Amino acid sequence: MCRNFKSAALVMARKHVTMTVNGDEVDFLCEADQSLLSVLRDELEMTGTKEGCGTGDCGACSVTVDGRLICSCLILAVEAEGKSVETIEGMAEGDKLHPLQTKFLEHAALQCGVCTPGMLVAAKALLDKNPDPSETEVRYWLAGNLCRCTGYQSIVEAVLDAAAVMRRG
């Protein structure tokens, strides 16, 4: 009885959150201090979004919330109540890769892949705002996304190439 009461109290202490993830409405229980990153990975089993630093420094956890690029390790899941979250899992349409994903593969713009989902989400956020960025604009925009493997050149080339393909429609 006592144990059941404790369990019920713990469940009640968790917060009920509803949001849209990649167009699908989801709802879940989470801790009041649980990050959006943790909920995506641990509660919703969407492990495409990566944890690098957990402190807002690497960009591996990048997602968009209501169209705004953010580090999901820096926002609480409860803060995303009622909002629209887009993650790497929503980038391809079925089997059809997004042009950014295709160009990352063509340019070999990934090695270990830990930074790649965040890079792709960030790059898409850039191209959604600016379909024809200069190389400097791409480098500036992606400055918050760290890569320990590629040296960045292939990533920048892939983004510029994808932008050109998307402009041609």
Q: Which distant-in-sequence residues (6+ apart) come within 8 Å of 133 by Cβ? A: 126, 127, 141, 159, 160, 163
In whole angstroms, the minimum distance from the beta carbon of 152 to ligand FES comes to: 9
Distance in angstroms (rounded) separating the CA atoms of residues 141 and 122: 8
CB 117 within 8 A of CB 48: yes
Considering only 36, 77, 80, 114, the residue that binds ligand FES (CB under 6 A) is: 114
**Chain-centre distance for alpha carbon 113:** 14
Nearer of residues 13 and 53 to ligand FES, judged by Cβ:
53
If binding is defined by CB under 6 A, does position 113 make contact with ligand FES?
A: yes
If binding is defined by CB under 6 A, does position 108 make contact with ligand FES?
A: no
In whole angstroms, the minimum distance from the beta carbon of 93 to ligand FES comes to: 24
Chain residues that interact with ligand FES, rule: CB under 6 A: 51-54, 56-61, 71, 73, 110-116, 147-150
